[in-house]
Structure 1
Amino acid sequence: MPSRRLLIWTGVAFAVLAALAAVRVADWSYGADTGTFVQVVLDALGPMENGVERTTHYRFHWSPTLVLLWPALALTRSVWVLQAILALATVACAPLLSAVARCGFGRGRFEPNVADRIGAVALVYPPLVAVGFGEFRDLGLMAPLALGWWLALQRRAWGWLAVCAVLLAGLREDVCLELALLGIGTGIAMFVRGERPRAVAALATSALAIGSAATYVLVVIPRVGSWPPSHFYQYPFAHGPLELALAPFTHPIAFALAIFTFGRLTYVLEALVPLAFVPLRSRLAVLALPGFAIVLLANSGLVWRMGEHYAALWIPWLLIAFAGGIALLREQRRWTTAAFALSAIVLIAFSPLHPLHYLTPSYHALADARAALACVPRDAPVATHDEWYTAVSAERPRAMVLGDDPPDADWLVVADDYPNTTFASVVLPRVRERVARGAYREACRRGSVAAYVHAQPASR
């Protein structure tokens, strides 16, 4: 069991992240992703429709595991509760990683209390803390589930392994891909070592992940439409994930020029430097390769920018490799101290959390925004700014985002001086054009914030 001290610091870390979440909720500084998942979870017993994707969430991601969050959100109707769940999932990685370390790593042995020191590093590891501080996404639940799966595999806790495997297989389709590959690789390795029960469990996990992914690809996607995220894997030499996976063999030069870039190199360094490169000491570092591949093969720098939730695809496996690397080193306390210090320095001086930006209100007059939104009936379709959409998403199931081309919603709530360049140059002129031709009329105004009602609302 993790020490009492580690559990206390885990509680402190949760309190900090939960308090920061409360500040962001009060400041309306969460973007549209959190609002998306608020509505997705509240509609988890149905098609998971929401006001960003404007269709079933299953068209974008295979996330039936989110149904487990429905009771908490249905009872509270609170954006903060969803963010607190994300914070809890994040800090839970510390005691879980400590427990993983206590299981041992073959010939490696730990000095006294080193397992807890390894767990403590997770509390300040910048990529992980950024996931917990950022907006809620389904991938935010992956790290504790992955660590829990690995821990159960080491302890032969088959019931807990099955629970973690089922939840991971229902979290997202890319998680299924990872789990399938890691289950096969781990199973083969354990068969070679003569650990048949663990090998069977790992291979069974892989089979479950493959079955879940096949269900999504062969049954769900054909019924909901094409899979939009495939655009992340479009290149002139490859169209889609499968062709891209084969590109190193079919178009090696074009592949190398597109993928081996300075931005991707710095991303990998941002993952390894806070851990003092210790994961590379362990063969378990290969566990992180599928997650890194999914992230680094994407054509958008947004995916491989540190601070984004996509890092959750490799974080738990890299932390396991960190623990495995420490087990092989002498002066383990010194190495864990170095990793903790480096992580803390990066977290403070080069923070992927961007606290100065996110811990400020999204708009200078939120009272005006609240007053304008109060003019809109609660059950009416209303389109508004990303952050405002999230702020009301738990109470307004038909709320949606304006986007670059405002939807034909019954109501539009906008601020003339909203601090966003795209809004000022693209969206606001389109709203004013609709008002000028009579499609909308101003129903109420508070300061620079106006609520416009459609000339022919929902009954039309």
Structure 2
Amino acid sequence: MPLRSPRVFARPERAFPAGGRKRWVPLSGAALPWALAAVFFALYTALSVRLHQRLLTTGYDLGIFEQAVRAYAHGHLPVSALKGPHYNLLGDHFSPVLATLAPFYRLFPSPLTLLVAQAALLAVAVVPLSRWAHRAHGRAAALVVGIGHGLSWGIASAVGFDFHAVCFAVPLLAFAVTALGNGRPRAAAAWALPLLLVKEDLGFTVMLIGCLIAWRGSRRLGLSTAVAGLAGSLLEMFVLIPAFNPGNGYAYSGSVADGGRGGTGALGLLHLPVDLITPETKVITLLTLLAPTAFMALRSPLILLVLPTIGWRFLSDNQAYWGTGHHYSAVLIPIVFGAFVHSLGRWAPGTSPQDLRTLRSGLAISGAVTLLLVPGFPLARLADPVTWRAAPRAAAAHRVLDRIPDGATVAASNRLVPQLTDRCTVTLFGFRGIPLTADWIVVDTTDPMGFPLSARDEAHALDRARAEGFRTVTRDDGFLLLRRSPPDGEALR
């Protein structure tokens, strides 16, 4: 089917059980996507909770987002002490969607509330994609697409690294891509526009969704969506975020502007293609992204939706953006698998034996690559017996943390921060630019994380704190608790 056809995304509903293809989806097929979502919700929740219980979550990012949600839950703007005194997170990333978690946090004030919510949001993204695959290509396709998305390295990396607001974008993109692929432009626009409330750069993805809607034939709706996406991102980056963060503007624009190594002007533009594929980490990320679709996703115009996220990441000077870690690739996964579902119909448009073989080969390769990649990413920890054992030092950590009263101001090690953010005002001990105003300090001297201070610098910082009047309250299995000298007549707790 030619790419310029106005029906490029539309496909008849079809399935191919053993007796041949038929037009109507079996009733049992409606339950399959939700069953997959339930399984992945359980897996994601189990991993997230165990990581937190084993003291493997961090202040950056779980603690930061908990402070924001906690502020929303009490009717305040999303201030995070971890980012700085009275720092409004709307001046860092524009993610007002976090306020939707406030009622749940008010009922269950715990970092686990954020982790469980993230697990649910990521899991539900398999529903529209596997349902589309079932209608278009049958039960086998639904299983491969649903399991492939659920076990994908991008989603696994997000689950294995704390919490981030982009978890809201994953189901929104899954529903938007599915609607777009099934020729429902109004639904695609409706699912896409809320991305503007998730993160400021996602407006560029909305813009491309609008362009695809317009190209398919709904020009007024598509152009309106595209303009809203572009204008929304520009408004957030250059008006709203600077308004909430006076003096600093949009902090991330410089990293992208300086990321290209070819310089500025015409030379920089000529060097741009090279910057997008060097160093080799970027190529590895691209290959890992496309391999689970047997590279068939490249045949669908839906794959164009990855360009804004890939672009800002690969042009940034922050090397953490280039690889497969953290949450950065989670938003790409529903796009890639949506393009995969659409491309299956382009590779095998009919019911001939050759088309069936092509379809089954694509699904087989996709499933095999997905399974081969699982051991290299965080979901594999669920099969590690260590994950299910009690952390050897967790009990000692909680004995020390229990000495800190509710409502106290605390400067803590990165891994200890999210153990306290539900009941204390917490900053990151030794973080640059943030003065030490806390009354309590708690650090892990046995297994320091190395962020924001090296073990040596942390020891020097502790010596300076003692010189400023902090005194040791307790030390237990390497966890050190200090308190600022209390006023005369008040005993140390």
Counterpart of 1:188 in structure 2 is 214
Q: How does 1:251-290 map to 2 (within 5 A)?
A: 251-261=268-278, 262-290=280-308
Counterpart of 2:38 in structure 1 is 11
1:224, CA displacement in angstroms? 1.7
Counterpart of 2:52 in structure 1 is 25
Counterpart of 1:221 in structure 2 is 242
Counterpart of 1:410 in structure 2 is 439
The structure 1 residue matched to 2:103, chosen from 60, 64, 71, is 71
Q: Secondary structure at the match of 1:412?
A: strand
- 1:369-426: CA deviations, max 9, x gaps? 2222222221111011111101222222x11221445741121112332333544111
Q: How does 1:296-335 map to 2 (within 5 A)?
A: 296-329=314-347, 330=355, 331=357, 332-335=359-362
In 1, Cα distance between equivalents of 2:138 and 2:190: 32
| TM-score normalised by length of structure 2 | 0.79
Counterpart of 1:201 in structure 2 is 221
1:116, CA displacement in angstroms? 4.7
Q: Secondary structure at the match of 2:407?
A: coil
In 1, Cα distance between equivalents of 2:119 and 2:71: 22
Residue 187 and residue 152 in structure 1: after superposition, are their counterparts in 2 closer, same or farther (change >3 A)?
Answer: closer
Residue 324 and residue 152 in structure 1: after superposition, are their counterparts in 2 closer, same or farther (change >3 A)?
Answer: closer
1:362, CA displacement in angstroms? 11
In 1, Cα distance between equivalents of 2:386 and 2:78: 27
Q: Does structure 1 residue 56 correspond to structure 2 residue 82? A: no
Residue 390 and residue 178 in structure 1: after superposition, are their counterparts in 2 closer, same or farther (change >3 A)?
Answer: same
Counterpart of 1:142 in structure 2 is 169
- 1:170-221: CA deviations, max 9, x gaps? 10101122212332x2133123xxxx3xx43333333333343344222441
Counterpart of 2:20 in structure 1 is none
Q: How does 1:70-109 map to 2 (within 5 A)?
A: 70-101=102-133
Residue 418 and residue 357 in structure 1: after superposition, are their counterparts in 2 closer, same or farther (change >3 A)?
Answer: farther
- Is there any run of 5+ residues in structure 1 with no aligned partner, and where? 105-109, 239-243
- Is there any run of 5+ residues in structure 2 with no aligned partner, and where? 1-24, 348-354, 488-493
Q: Does structure 1 residue 344 correspond to structure 2 residue 371? A: yes
Counterpart of 1:393 in structure 2 is 421
1:441, CA displacement in angstroms? 1.7
Contact conserved, 1:288 with 1:315, CA < 8 A, in 2?
A: no
Q: Secondary structure at the match of 1:312?
A: coil
Letter in 1 for 2:233: A
In 2, Cα distance between equivalents of 1:67 and 1:117: 34
Letter in 1 for 2:364: T
1:163, CA displacement in angstroms? 5.2
1:25, CA displacement in angstroms? 2.0
Which stretch has the larger CA shift, 444-453 or 312-321?
Answer: 444-453
Q: Does structure 1 residue 375 correspond to structure 2 residue 403? A: yes
Letter in 2 for 1:114: A
Q: Secondary structure at the match of 2:343?
A: helix
- 1:246-271: CA deviations, max 9, x gaps? 96845245445544311111111111
Counterpart of 1:432 in structure 2 is 463
Contact conserved, 2:208 with 2:305, CA < 8 A, in 1?
A: no
Letter in 2 for 1:251: G
Q: Secondary structure at the match of 1:43?
A: helix
Contact conserved, 1:274 with 1:340, CA < 8 A, in 2?
A: yes
Counterpart of 1:241 in structure 2 is none
Contact conserved, 1:3 with 1:116, CA < 8 A, in 2?
A: no
Q: Secondary structure at the match of 2:442?
A: strand
Counterpart of 2:13 in structure 1 is none
Residue 47 and residue 424 in structure 1: after superposition, are their counterparts in 2 closer, same or farther (change >3 A)?
Answer: same
Contact conserved, 2:118 with 2:163, CA < 8 A, in 1?
A: yes
1:56, CA displacement in angstroms? 0.7
In 1, Cα distance between equivalents of 2:300 and 2:154: 20
Letter in 2 for 1:369: A
Contact conserved, 1:127 with 1:311, CA < 8 A, in 2?
A: yes
In 2, Cα distance between equivalents of 1:306 and 1:427: 29
Q: Does structure 1 residue 384 correspond to structure 2 residue 416? A: no
1:360, CA displacement in angstroms? 8.6
Q: Does structure 1 residue 130 correspond to structure 2 residue 157? A: yes
| TM-score normalised by length of structure 1 | 0.85
Contact conserved, 1:17 with 1:132, CA < 8 A, in 2?
A: yes
Point out the structure with the larger helix share. 1
1:78, CA displacement in angstroms? 2.1
Contact conserved, 2:300 with 2:339, CA < 8 A, in 1?
A: yes
Residue 374 and residue 119 in structure 1: after superposition, are their counterparts in 2 closer, same or farther (change >3 A)?
Answer: closer
Residue 157 and residue 394 in structure 1: after superposition, are their counterparts in 2 closer, same or farther (change >3 A)?
Answer: farther
Q: Secondary structure at the match of 2:171?
A: helix
In 2, Cα distance between equivalents of 1:377 and 1:275: 52
Work out the number of aligned pairs and report it.
435
